[in-house]
Structure 1
Amino acid sequence: MDSDFGTLPGAQDMRAYVSRFVAQLTERNRLPLDYSVASLRIVDFVVDGLRRGRPERVQVDGVLRGLGAYVGEVMVRRAGAQWIDFDAEQREFFGQPVGVRMPDGRVWNPLGKVVKRFEAGTEESVQRLYLQLHGRVRRTVSC
């Protein structure tokens, strides 16, 4: 992966960041990352594949960030979430600079969920996270 994906932008630039990440990842690997809820299962599989070689997390942090940002963008497009910049307290708690806010006001950390999948394995699932979200709305935002 390109080292540009190692640093996350602010909330206002996340859609462009995710678009670049998806374009690069799918060009090389032909993964069906189409911003659908079903594609979150692919994210779980990709993270599982990263775990197989037992790399240190620092070696795959850029890919994990990109995948976490993708999960967040699916939440934005499919569940009505909004990207937000975390305040200092939230950054410390979540360990990430950005996250998403659902229409009901709850804040979620999709980037951290991907890291948990990497660290804990199948106990953690981004697809299950989406399916358990409270405050989802049924809407689709065009690309």
Structure 2
Amino acid sequence: MTADTTAAATAPDGTAAQETRPHAAAKPVRWAADAVATMREGARVRLDYSAQSLWRVDRMIEEIRRERAPIEAVADVLRGFGAYAGEVVVRRTGAEWWATGGEHWVRTPDGRLWDPIKEARRSFLGHGSLRLLCRDATADA
């Protein structure tokens, strides 16, 4: 597939529509920006879209997990952190966001698909790391 390929989506009126790749990035880019703003204003933590900043994100997820918050209560925060990690990969590798069926992935130039939003949830459950996902996704960049 090429970068200009489109994905099938359903329009609000129920008809089939095509979702272009730039459109697929709209929501995750917004979720990432919201996470950056929330961290800056609420936790006084600066996120700059660098791979090193994902150490801070992993630590924040660990702190939330230690507070024993139900995953449902922090789902939006985790989505924002995952989208932020995806944006780090996109910016470092020239990857692109892909979306279908409400799910969002990052496709790196080598064709691999990554699910940073799911990885944020896995990290919250103690089985993942956004920093390591970024390291693996950008290893060949």
The aligned counterpart of 2:35 is: 21
The aligned counterpart of 1:128 is: 132
Task: Measure the CA separation in 1 of the matches of 2:43 and 2:138.
Answer: 33
Aligned residues: 118
Distance 1:80 1:20, change over 3 A: same
Q: 1:81 aligns with which of 83, 95, 100?
A: 95
Q: Is structure 2 residue 118 aligned with structure 1 residue 112?
A: yes
Aligned Cα root-mean-square deviation (Å): 1.8
The aligned counterpart of 1:62 is: 76
Larger % of helix: which? 1
The aligned counterpart of 2:24 is: 11
Unmatched 5+ residue regions in structure 2?
A: 1-22
TM-score of the pair, normalised by structure 2: 0.75
Of structures 1 and 2, the larger Rg is shown by 2
Q: Is structure 2 residue 48 aligned with structure 1 residue 34?
A: yes
Unmatched 5+ residue regions in structure 1?
A: 1-9, 89-95, 138-143
Task: Measure the CA separation in 2 of the matches of 1:127 and 1:134.
Answer: 11
Task: Measure the CA separation in 2 of the matches of 1:56 and 1:103.
Answer: 36
Larger % of strand: which? 2
**Preserved contact between residue 34 and residue 80 of structure 2 (Cα < 8 Å):** no
